[in-house]
Chain A
Amino acid sequence: MVTFFLASLAVVAQAAVAVAAALGIAGRWSAGARRAGARLRAAVAPDALLLALAVAVVSTTGSLYFSERLHFTPCKLCWYQRIAMYPLVPMLAVAVWRRDAGVRRYAMPLALAGGAISAYHVVVERFPSLESGSCDPNNPCSIIWVERFGYLTIPTMALSAFALIVALLLAVRTESEAS
């Protein structure tokens, strides 16, 4: 049930990122898309940090659920993604508390790095030979522990979360932007 729930949240995250990306790209040519993008950002911006924090909290909890409750052993790439995701929780929590939009300068590199690692991990899952020609006896990264809806693996969920955090951080308005 929890895995289904996390996978469903990942689908919602993907949809949200896809809408934001589509409006951002279409806005380069279409005034209507630009206005829609601006309205979306205006609606999300005041709560963007809180939402990003929620995404980081759910992702961190989910990752601990997989390893500590279901006993799925994290591989090397999983650990790199954890290194990127876990610090976002206290970082964004403090930013929400202090209403510090400047946090995006610090959170964005972590989210981008985590997303890049997740993307590579997704490719390794589909093409195990990229990692190595054989399985490392000590927990290779090509093992697919979970697969929901035919494509959602743990790194795919992580990639969705990182992408949504990046999108939300882009929506955050600094004081100078707000004025």
Chain B
Amino acid sequence: MTEEQPETRRRFPVIPVAVAVAVVLAVVAYVASDGEPDRPERDAVSSEHTEGDGTVEQLEQVRDVSFTGNALPDFVRGTPDAAVGTPAPTISGQSFDGEEVTIGGAGSPQLVFVVAHWCPHCQKEVPVIARWMERGGPPDGVELRAISTAVNPDAPNYPPSEWLDGEGWAVPTIADDARFEAAQALGLSGYPFFVAIRADGSVAARASGELTVEQIEALVALATGAT
């Protein structure tokens, strides 16, 4: 007497296959990354830069800043800017390599850029400004200044000194302090941020966001009183 066994199809071993794939990927990830950490270990905010002649300079991404005068009110896009016509604070700081840089005060008209290394809009705007300067930039007598602020070693595109150097950035730039005091003194509300300062030290205009060369030149014209 024979008993008929129902035909049973073997199930595809989904879970073992999934586990095997995960294990293989883990091994591949271990081998391919070759001990490289997911995030480079960064010692605070200093680095070294080797010049073309072989000299090594110490760069600090964050430096002490100070300002005199009153901080400007926060800039709000699309509303009349209460800062226009008021004196801009005079900000004193240092560039990444320690050169003294001053923003504001009576003297020459100034256009100030405030940038953050991790901001995609700044990453697009900096090359626009750099190319504009290569083509001649502002008229004689107008000073360009910049502030590198909101430095975060954990964020992308760090360090800002390397980023700006790679873009051919030739604007005297203050490395803002860890509390972003220089940027806040200008009433920053978003990156990139622009402040046009007249020769008498008063604010001519402020703007935030990506600007075209024409818009930048319009800010320069406001600073010089050409419009």
Contact A4 B11 (CB under 8 A): no
Chain B, interface SS category = loop
B28 touches A133 (CB 8 A): no
Chain B residues with CB below 8 A from A54, complex form: 18
A137-B191 in contact given A4-B33, A8-B25, A44-B14 (Cβ < 8 Å): yes
Whether, in the assembled complex, B170 has its beta carbon less than 8 Å from a beta carbon of chain A, the answer is no
B156: Cβ under 8 A from any A Cβ: yes
Contact between chains at B150 and A137 (CB < 8 Å): yes
B29 x A5 contact (CB < 8 A): yes
**Does B39 count as interface, using CB distance less than 8 angstroms?**
yes
Interface residue B36 (Cβ < 8 Å from any Cβ of A): yes
B209 CB contact (under 8 Å) in A47, A70, A134, A144: A134
CB–CB A142/B120 < 8 A: yes
| CB of B44 within 8 Å of the partner chain | no
What is the distance, in angstroms, from A167's C-beta to the closest C-beta of chain B?
Answer: 13
User: Contact check: which of B32, B39, B122, B189 meets A4 at CB < 8 Å?
Assistant: B32
B154, A70: Cβ atoms under 8 Å? Answer: yes
CB-based nearest B residue for A125:
B120
Q: How many residues does chain A have at the interface if contact means C-beta atoms less than 8 Å apart?
A: 31
CA–CA, A132 and B191, complex, Å: 10
Could you tell me if A144 and B15 are in contact, using CB atoms closer than 8 angstroms? no
- Contact check, B29 vs A129: say whether CB atoms are below 8 A apart: no
- The minimal Cβ–Cβ distance linking A38 to chain B, given in whole angstroms, is 13
Judge if A175 is at the interface, Cβ distance under 8 Å: no
Kindly name the residue among A46, A134, A137, A142 whose own CB sees the greatest number of chain B CB atoms within 10 A: A134
B21 at the interface (CB under 8 A from A): yes
Evaluate whether A43 and B209 lie within 8 angstroms (CB atoms) in the complex, with A71-B154, A143-B156 already known: no
- Do B209 and A143 have beta carbons less than 8 Å apart? no
Spell out A's residues near B (CB within 8 Å): 1-5, 8-9, 12, 43-44, 46-47, 50-51, 54, 70-72, 128-129, 132-137, 140, 142-145
